Amino acid sequence: MQNRIASPVSALFDALTRDGFSFVTADVMQPLLQASGELSDWDAFTESWNHLGPDPYLAATGRLRRRRHATYAATPRNDVELMPHQPHYQSLQYNQLQGDIKRWFDPIDVSVANSASLRTILAFCNDFFSSLTPAVAQWQVEVHQFRIEASAGAAGEPTPEGSHRDGVDFVLVLLIDRHNIASGTTTIHTPDRKPLGDFTLTHPFDAALIHDPRVFHGVTPVTPLDPSEPAHRDVLVVTFRAIS
């Protein structure tokens, strides 16, 4: 199958190959996605973030994070297949806060999991990550809808585990929406915590692409601009892990 991605994606290839990460502004990311498929149901797709359940594994700590989760299987540059609902698992090596636990989250609604917008995002990721690693024959793909909420008395923590790796090969972090918040800056570090770069996802379609084995990433806490109003940060996180 012919690669669906066209220029200026070569700049992203170069950045991930050279640095292990790339920050992509919305004016670049949105056309790249549209080259991979349709975003015709984008409004309904983003509205689904209003229907996420709380993360039960963080409730005891008072950190309010809402999320849904889905797993897919993919072969390079072919369709991505939705798999039966299953837990999300990370070892303690990658998540010292919640590692070695099979975490069951609410599944992403089937209509969202099969939506044109999500299918387009997954097609882009499959083409892009497969082109970076042509020897991979199969991928395990996980998709996470996150909403981080902040209040006057408690900052929202997008990455309560701190600066970390996810234990996968590649990560896409795509901003869906941010409302009434300050900060939420994505930071990239070397394994010995030397800072490599930072970028605040500000507009829908702003994104970070990460080669997970090479760098650590985190996000600074978010606080409300107006403490009397609701405040949240919505992102989609997609991870690709090669299956040997």
The tally of domains found in the chain comes to 1
What's the per-residue H, E or C state across the chain?
CCCCCCCCHHHHHHHHHHHCEEEECHHHHHHHHHCCCCCCCHHHHHHHHHHCEECCCCHHHCCCEEEEEEEEEECCCCCEEECCCCCEEECCCCCCCCCCEEECCCECCHHHHCCHHHHHHHHHHHHHHHHHCCCCCCEEEEEEEEEEEECCCCCECCCCCCCECCCCCEEEEEEEEEECEEECEEEEECCCCCEEEEEECCCCCCEEEEECCCCEEEECCEEECCCCCCEEEEEEEEEEEECC
Q: What confidence tens digit (pLDDT) does each residue in 213-236 have?
A: 999 999 999 999 999 999 999 999
- Residue 92: band (very low, low, confident or very high) from pLDDT cuts 50, 70, 90: low
pLDDT in tens, 188-198: 999 898 999 99
Asked if residue 198 belongs to a domain, the reply is no
Residue 223 covered by a domain: no
Higher pLDDT, residue 104 or 244: 104
Instruction: Give the residue, 208 or 78, on which the prediction is more confident.
Output: 208
Domain for residue 64, yes or no? yes
Whether residue 143 is contained in a domain is answered as: yes
214 domain residue, yes or no: no
Indicate which CATH number applies to the domain containing 52: 2.60.120.620
Residue 59 lies in a domain: yes
Q: Kindly report the pTM of this predicted structure.
A: 0.90
What is the mean predicted confidence (pLDDT) over 47-70?
A: 81
